[in-house]
Amino acid sequence: MTFAIFTLVQHREKDGKYYGYAPYIREMNIWTKYVDDVIVVAPKSKNNVVSAIDLPYDHKKITFVEAPDFNIKSIQSIFRILILLPGVFYKMAKVMRKADQLHFRCPSNVAALASIVQVFFPSKKKITKYAGNWDPNSIQPLGYKFQKCLLSNTFFTKKMRVLVYGDWNSKSDYVTPFISATYFEHEKVSFNKRNFNEELQFVFAGALVIGKRPLLTIKIIELLNNKGYKSKLHMYGEGDLRLDLENYIKNNNLQDVIILYGNQEKEVIRERLKQAHFTILPSKSEGWPKAIAEGMFYGAIPVSTKISCLEWILDYGNRGILIEPNVELAVKAIEKHLHKSDLNDMAKQALDWSQQYTLETLESSIKKYVLE
């Protein structure tokens, strides 16, 4: 079977191998385990330096087809993609003609174009992994709405399965709820009670970009300390806001309570989560909230905004703390729980829920979708 992947993930080539963002590659190595040949249609970085958060595909037969890395945020970029479109459509059609199964990683510009081309291949089996927010009531870019509409439309799109995070009671027969995973069965640990009367340990794991609201996270920890709740924040990740965050920490004398570690390997973050009281992620938008689910796996209580499938994951506040994207309101919500005696019960519920979903259960689901 030839399996074609259409994704926006930047790839790097080194020593004959193709590398990409580790969580994506880790999952794709499961998808590709059950196929003979793999074709990857994706952008290729001009920088071939592999970082700590990059992994290679482990499939032996990988063909890489470069797709342009583009956006449509300016007049110039619109003209550029219009010029490129005929060539991109031709490349994609050529790949689809050769492949037995098509796999779209959405939402993305590459998958948006591929979703148009796939209409002309109704006999091909297709699977979409929609990693964004499927909430039909959320405010989203027009491009996201277009992809959701076309890929779940049973008239224009044939032989499709769309895997989405959360259960949205979709009217399309194509849409299937899907849960991701990071850890193996053997990485499970028994629940370890925390002492919530000692210094509270918070973990933020995510890109240091506006959408993840890292500055809001820092201000929440700052206000908790100002109100007498001794707290420390361990921040993992890199991004455009790194320098701004460092300056805020320095200017407000927060060096003892906010620590920036940059990108770290999975094992480093895992050991931190085993000791943490909370994992916090007040994002503007999420698909699969990987950082939250990983913290829950080790009994760290999730603290999150009410976005995407997070209310469902946190059981509407029973196995986590739902906050508003406002410093005072967020601290008030956390403070309310700190005065209760049920935090270890909440942490245990979070762990029990997350540990249902291991890489073994994920692989079992993926194998079924690929081979059915």
CATH number, position 135: 3.40.50
Residues 350 and 363 in one domain: no
Please give the distance of CA 350 from its chain centroid, rounded to a whole number: 19
Residues 86 and 199 in one domain: no
For residues 298 and 189, the answer to whether their CB atoms sit within 8 Å is: yes
Residues 175 and 58 in one domain: yes
- Angle, in degrees to the nearest 10, between helices 109-117 and 142-151: 40
Number of H helices, E strands in the chain: 12, 16
Please report the pLDDT score of residue 74 as a whole number: 59
Helix (H) or strand (E) holding 6: strand 2-6
Residues 144 and 114 in one domain: yes
Helix (H) or strand (E) holding 285: none
Cβ contacts of 188 within 8 Å, gap of 6 or more: 297, 355, 358
Q: For residues 333 and 69, give the distance between their C-alpha atoms in angstroms, rounded to a whole number.
A: 41
The strand pair at 12-14 and 17-21 is best described as: antiparallel
- How many structural domains is the chain composed of? 2
pLDDT in tens, the chain (372 residues): 999 999 999 999 999 999 999 889 999 999 999 999 999 999 999 888 888 789 999 999 999 999 987 666 556 666 777 788 899 999 999 999 999 999 999 998 899 999 999 999 999 999 999 988 888 888 888 888 899 999 999 999 999 999 999 888 777 899 998 988 889 999 999 999 999 999 999 999 999 999 999 999 999 999 999 999 999 999 999 999 999 999 999 999 999 999 999 999 889 999 999 999 999 999 988 878 889 999 999 999 999 999 888 998 999 999 999 999 999 999 999 999 998 878 999 999 999 999 999 999 999 999 999 998
**The amino acid at 311:** E
Pull the structure tokens for residue 341.
């005696």
Task: Note down the domain range covering 274.
Answer: 185-354
Residues 272 and 288 in one domain: yes
Q: For residues 203 and 234, give the distance between their C-alpha atoms in angstroms, rounded to a whole number.
A: 5
Q: For residues 285 and 279, give the distance between their C-alpha atoms in angstroms, rounded to a whole number.
A: 17
For residues 137 and 111, the answer to whether their CB atoms sit within 8 Å is: no
Residues 196 and 165 in one domain: no
Residues 167 and 264 in one domain: no
Q: For residues 262 and 239, give the distance between their C-alpha atoms in angstroms, rounded to a whole number.
A: 9
Residues 147 and 206 in one domain: no
Q: What is the pTM of this model?
A: 0.83
Residues 18 and 57 in one domain: yes
Pull the structure tokens for residue 353.
């829920």
Residues 171 and 199 in one domain: no
CATH of the domain at 347: 3.40.50.2000
Residues 128 and 207 in one domain: no
Residues 131 and 200 in one domain: no
